[in-house]
Amino acid sequence: MKITVVGAGAVGATTADNLVRKNVAEEIILLDIKEGFAEGKAQDMMQTSALLGFDAKIKGVTNDYLATAGSTVAVITSGIPRKPGMTREELIGTNANIVKTVVENLIKHSPEIIILIVSNPMDTMTYLALKSSGLPKNRIIGMGGALDSARFKYQISDKLNASANDLNAIVIGGHGDTTMIPLIKHATWNSVPVADFLTEEEEQEIVKKTMVGGATLTALIGTSAWYAPGAAAAAMVESIVHNQNKLFTASVYLEGEYGQEDINIGVPVIINNKGWDRIVPMNLSAEEEELFKASADAVRKMNDVLYAEGVLKK
């Protein structure tokens, strides 16, 4: 079993590091366009194997797609990240061309591949990957909600002084500071609604902190975060490779589900060896439905840029 990670930067390298430590596949190919960069990162990680006890192999390559041939899954992290003050949406022009080319190259050598998109603006990049490749919809998955949901659980656990592992809480909608929807009213602490332990103000504080979670880190670090994004991508790959049927919020193509069509946006899905297998319906309140519709409108506006700039044709 081979997994490819495209982009050996902060998120790509962290994804590969998580995958190799857990022996998720025998071989991981780390590919970057920068000469020698992926090779160096891969060697550094391989030199931890005697310390951490893994047997999986990680190989770095410079833009060599032949080395990716026969990959079961690819994670695409190539592209530019946010700088302080930037939105994810401002990355669209540069990252669209990168993502489109990378997808073409991957499919050429691995026609059966399942592709996980991380590059931002992620919902739009996932839509682009699907539309430009013509792959079956279940084999193109966007990673954003898995990260946002983990950040949501972190904020709840911090407030309740509880283990994040005892929480059930998800974020749906677009992967943007203003488009994501942390579903606080559905969140539970070992089946008990977290609302039972929080005031309305505390709930709103958690929601707000979750929504600006990425921007908060970008301001502190100077570039976008990588530990949680890398861990989230690796967890989704593991669910594919080991056919775990885990539920994640992921950006998938909707054809009427959640009242939306012709869009990739975050909804709860089951992830297994088919890619995303099925969408899990939820009973949303009228207010949550309204937020989801507004979120979809914002994502669709971003997708329109792809058509306006000629990256995609109607």
Q: Which residues fall in the annotated binding site for NAD(+)?
A: 7-12, 32, 95, 118-120
**Beta carbons of 33 and 62 less than 8 angstroms apart:** yes
Mask: binding to ligand NAD, 157-186, rule CB under 6 A, as x and -?
Answer: ------------------x-----------
In sequence order, the β-bridge partners of residue 32 are 62
Catalytic residue among 109, 175, 186, 242: 175
**Beta carbons of 254 and 245 less than 8 angstroms apart:** no
Nearer to ligand NAD, 194 or 263 (CB): 263
Nearer to ligand NAD, 65 or 189 (CB): 65
Contact flag: residue 266 with ligand NAD (CB under 6 A): no
Pick one of 3, 4, 5, 6: the residue that binds ligand NAD (CB under 6 A).
Answer: 6
Per rule CB under 6 A, count of chain residues that contact ligand NAD: 35
The set of residues, in sequence order, having a beta carbon less than 8 Å from that of 204 and lying 6+ positions away, is: none
Contact flag: residue 240 with ligand NAD (CB under 6 A): no
Choices 65-73, 94-102, 166-174, 188-196 (CB under 6 A): range interacting with ligand NAD = 94-102
How far apart are the C-alpha atoms of 61 and 105, rounded to whole Å? 14
How far apart are the C-alpha atoms of 110 and 145, rounded to whole Å? 26
Closest CA to 68 of 102, 101, 34, 20: 102
Contact flag: residue 122 with ligand NAD (CB under 6 A): yes
Contact flag: residue 120 with ligand NAD (CB under 6 A): yes
Residue nearest to ligand NAD (CB): 9
Torsion of CA 240, 243, 244, 248, to 10 degrees: 30
Specify the residue for token string 């329109």. Answer: 304
Pick one of 8, 107, 172, 254: the residue that binds ligand NAD (CB under 6 A).
Answer: 8
Contact flag: residue 260 with ligand NAD (CB under 6 A): no
Q: Is 109 a catalytic residue?
A: no
280 three-class SS:
coil
Residue 233 C-beta: closest distance to ligand NAD, Å: 8
First to last CA, the chain: 37
| Burial of 126 (C-beta count, 10 Å sphere; 0-12/13-18/19+) | buried
Contact flag: residue 275 with ligand NAD (CB under 6 A): no
Specify the residue for token string 């699907």. Answer: 130
Contact flag: residue 77 with ligand NAD (CB under 6 A): yes
Residue 82 C-beta: closest distance to ligand NAD, Å: 5
How far apart are the C-alpha atoms of 172 and 152, rounded to whole Å? 11
Choices 42-50, 139-147, 178-186, 276-284 (CB under 6 A): range interacting with ligand NAD = 139-147
Contact flag: residue 98 with ligand NAD (CB under 6 A): yes
How far apart are the C-alpha atoms of 99 and 94, rounded to whole Å? 9
The set of residues, in sequence order, having a beta carbon less than 8 Å from that of 197 and lying 6+ positions away, is: 160, 189
Positions marked catalytic:
175
**Contacts to ligand NAD by CB under 6 A:** 6-12, 31-34, 37, 77-82, 91, 95, 98, 102, 118-120, 122, 143-144, 147, 175, 223-226, 229
